[in-house]
């Protein structure tokens, strides 16, 4: 009988498995700040490309969420919202694993600013680039979805969910949208914080799922998600055509174009995007970025 071949001894090039030991909060804060610093000082062309996918991936998460909500009207509302929030986390999972640049997470570049590693001008320029690129990426997905005719699927049920969701977002009072924006990015940036501690893809994906499901299920407002949803609602309202409005789901709900007159470009910008963006900045830069910096980085002799 042949003897089994001896196991190949590990070589210097064999990667060692990640340590299962969780990184201490102080070291984790340094890692998060370093990651934010790297994003802030990236070459502008690479930064722009990363912002495009940041918006596109969050848009895909919203696409998944809308798809799961079809036919959920008879389900307990909590279960429907939990399902929608959980599948939406796919979007942030893609952002984290790919290294894309997401405006809401980018607000935490306030950390390297507090450490004096970047200037205020560089931080704000990065925020502007991130928001603009995210918008382009998200709107591109909305245009692709309209071109694909997804809004008219299942008797126009998919598009009806988008319209109802968009209208609900525009019904918030200004101060409500602002506070919902704070809460959303508090959760999102905590998700990024947890993902930074992850050692494997599984760790990181599971790490983002809980906080993201929390914010989506509860109805908090995320500016980049809205960069997809609001344009998608506007596109459906204005360009879906008569066949969409004659869909079975639209007819069963007794809805018509006149029910969505509140969905306008002006309302999308003033009643939602502006207060939500401001709230997202507070939630990410202050409640997460500044908090962890003040707790674990302030007073360090070598902040760099």
pLDDT at 304: 55
State the sign of the Cα–Cα–Cα–Cα dihedral 104, 105, 106, 110. positive
**Mean pLDDT of the 152-160 span:** 97
16 versus 8: the higher-pLDDT residue is: 16
- What separation, in Å, do the N-terminal and C-terminal C-alpha atoms of the chain show? 62
pLDDT tens-place string over residues 21-72:
778 899 999 999 999 999 999 999 999 999 999 999 999 999 999 999 998 8
Q: Biggest alpha carbon distance in the chain?
A: 83
Instruction: Find the mean pLDDT for residues 113-117.
Output: 96
State yes or no: pLDDT of 303 exceeds 70: no
User: 241-251: per-residue pLDDT in tens?
Assistant: 999 999 999 99
Q: Is 230 exposed, middle or buried (0-12, 13-18, 19+ CB in 10 A)?
A: buried
pLDDT value of residue 199: 87
pLDDT category at 301 given cuts 50, 70, 90 is very low
d(CA 63, CA 145): 9
Rg of the chain over all Cα atoms, to the nearest angstrom: 22
| pLDDT per position as a tens digit, 68-105 | 999 888 889 999 999 999 999 999 999 999 999 999 99
User: In this structure, how many other beta carbons lie within 10 angstroms of the beta carbon of residue 155?
Assistant: 17
Q: What does pLDDT average to over the chain? A: 93
Q: Is 208 left (phi over 0), alpha (psi -120 to 50) or beta?
A: alpha
Structural domains present in the chain: 25-296 (1.20.1080.10)
Q: Exposed (0-12), middle (13-18) or buried (19+): which is 136, by Cβ within 10 Å? A: middle
Q: How many other C-beta atoms lie within 10 A of the C-beta of residue 96?
A: 23
Judge whether 58 and 134 are in contact, CB under 8 Å.
Answer: yes
Q: Confidence band (pLDDT; 50, 70, 90) for 1?
A: very low
Alpha helices in 70-114 (DSSP H): 77-98, 103-106, 110-114
Q: For residue 271, is pLDDT > 50?
A: yes
Q: Give residue 8's pLDDT.
A: 56
Tell me the C-alpha distance between 271 and 226, whole Å. Answer: 12
CA distances to 62, 68, 70, 146, 155 from 241, in Å: 23, 24, 21, 11, 13
Residues 196, 32 contacting (CB under 8 angstroms): yes
pTM as predicted: 0.91
């Amino acid at each position: 009988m042949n003897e089994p071949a001896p196991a190949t001894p590990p070589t210097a090039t064999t990667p060692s498995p990640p340590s299962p030991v969780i990184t201490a909060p102080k070291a984790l804060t340094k890692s998060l700040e370093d990651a934010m610093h790297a994003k802030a000082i990236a070459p502008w062309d690479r930064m722009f490309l990363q912002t495009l996918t940041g918006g596109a991936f969050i848009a895909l998460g919203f696409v998944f969420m809308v798809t799961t909500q079809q036919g959920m009207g008879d389900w307990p509302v909590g279960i429907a919202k939990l399902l929608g929030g959980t599948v939406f986390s796919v979007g942030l999972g893609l952002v984290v694993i790919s290294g894309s640049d997401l405006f809401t997470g980018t607000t935490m570049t306030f950390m390297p600013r507090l450490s004096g590693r970047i200037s205020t001008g560089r931080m704000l320029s990065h925020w502007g680039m991130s928001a603009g690129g995210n918008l382009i990426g998200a709107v591109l997905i909305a245009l692709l979805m309209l071109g694909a005719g997804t809004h008219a699927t299942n008797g126009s049920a998919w598009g009806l969910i988008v319209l109802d969701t968009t209208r609900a977002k525009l019904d918030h009072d200004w101060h409500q949208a602002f506070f919902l924006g704070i809460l959303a990015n508090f959760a999102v940036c905590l998700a990024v914080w947890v993902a930074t501690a992850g050692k494997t893809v599984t760790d990181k994906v599971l790490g983002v799922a809980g906080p993201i499901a929390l914010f989506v299920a509860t109805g908090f407002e995320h500016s980049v998600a809205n960069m997809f949803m609001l344009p998608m609602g506007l596109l459906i309202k204005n360009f879906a055509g008569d066949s969409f409005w004659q869909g079975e789901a639209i007819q069963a709900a007794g809805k018509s174009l006149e029910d969505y007159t509140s969905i306008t470009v002006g309302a999308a910008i003033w009643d939602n995007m502006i207060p939500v963006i401001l709230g997202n900045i507070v939630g990410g830069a202050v409640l997460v970025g500044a908090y962890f910096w003040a707790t674990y980085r302030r007073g360090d002799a070598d902040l760099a």
